[in-house]
Chains A and B, each alone.
Chain A
C-alpha cells in the first residue's frame, strides 16, 4: 500500500505570494490533517478534513485554508505569504476522524521557504 504523498517536496516563494500544497492520503483513509513544523514553535496543528468537511482547526490566521476532495486528497493554501510561514508542512492521514485514537500516518512533508 502506498504511503502518504505530498507535492511538491520543496518550494521557494517570495513574500506576498500565495502557495498551494497537495496531499494524497493512504488509500481508504478518509481523514487528512495538516501540521506546521518550525524550529521555534515545533509541530502545530493546522486543520483536519474528514469526508470533505473541515472538522477541526488550529490557531492559525485565515490566510491558511484548505479543502478536501471526494477522493480524500487534500490541498492547503497559504495566501499573502510572510517570512514566518517558512516551515515544513506535514500532512497526515488516518482511517477515521481524530478523537478515536487512531494512528495518523505522515507524509514526507513540503519544505516551504519564503524569501
Chain B
C-alpha cells in the first residue's frame, strides 16, 4: 500500500539554524514521484520540488536542499540558515505512475509544522 510518513509533527528552531524534515514513503510501483509542499498560515499549498523515482540526484535551490535515497525510501528536506518566513507546515507527498492500480493522485504525509523563532 502507498504511504507517506513524516515522523516529526512539530519542530522549533531559532533563526539561522539548519533544520531537516524527514519523509519516508512506501510504494510498490517502480515509477513514482515525490513532492514537497509548503503550507503557510494562509492555507494555500505551495509547490517546492518534484523528484521522479529514477533520479536520485540531490537538489539544491538556494537555502533548500533535498536528499532522495531509494535504498531507505526517504526524501528528506533541509533548510539551511532558517528564517522566520520559513515557518509553515511542510508536506511530503507521493504520486504513483498508476501501473499498480493507483491513478496518480497525491498521497500526503501528515505534515511537519516548522516554527522558526527570531
Please tell me if the beta carbons of A105 and B108 are within 8 angstroms of each other in the complex.
no
Type the 1/0 row for B17-31, where 1 means its CB is closer than 8 Å to any CB of A.
000000000000000
How long is the Cα–Cα vector from A58 to B107 in the complex, in angstroms?
Answer: 11
Please tell me if the beta carbons of A43 and B105 are within 8 angstroms of each other in the complex.
no
Q: How many A-B contacts if CB must be within 8 Å?
A: 69
Please tell me if the beta carbons of B44 and A107 are within 8 angstroms of each other in the complex.
yes
| B-side interface size class | 20 to 34
> Does any Cβ of B come within 8 Å of A62's Cβ?
no
- Of B44, B97, B107, most A-chain CB atoms within 10 Å: B44
> Does any Cβ of A come within 8 Å of B66's Cβ?
no
Please tell me if the beta carbons of B33 and A101 are within 8 angstroms of each other in the complex.
yes
Type the 1/0 row for A94-115, where 1 means its CB is closer than 8 Å to any CB of B.
0001111101111111010000
Please tell me if the beta carbons of B103 and A98 are within 8 angstroms of each other in the complex.
yes
Secondary structure at the A interface, as helix, strand, loop or mixed, is strand
B35: which A residues are within 8 A, CB to CB?
A: 103
> Does any Cβ of B come within 8 Å of A88's Cβ?
yes
Please tell me if the beta carbons of A98 and B104 are within 8 angstroms of each other in the complex.
yes
Name A residues whose Cβ lies closer than 8 Å to a Cβ of B. 33, 35, 42-45, 48, 55-56, 58, 88, 90, 92, 97-101, 103-109, 111
> Known pairs A43-B111, A106-B45, A108-B44. 15 more at Cβ < 8 A?
A42-B109, A42-B111, A48-B103, A56-B103, A90-B45, A92-B45, A98-B105, A99-B96, A99-B103, A99-B104, A101-B95, A103-B35, A106-B37, A108-B42, A111-B43
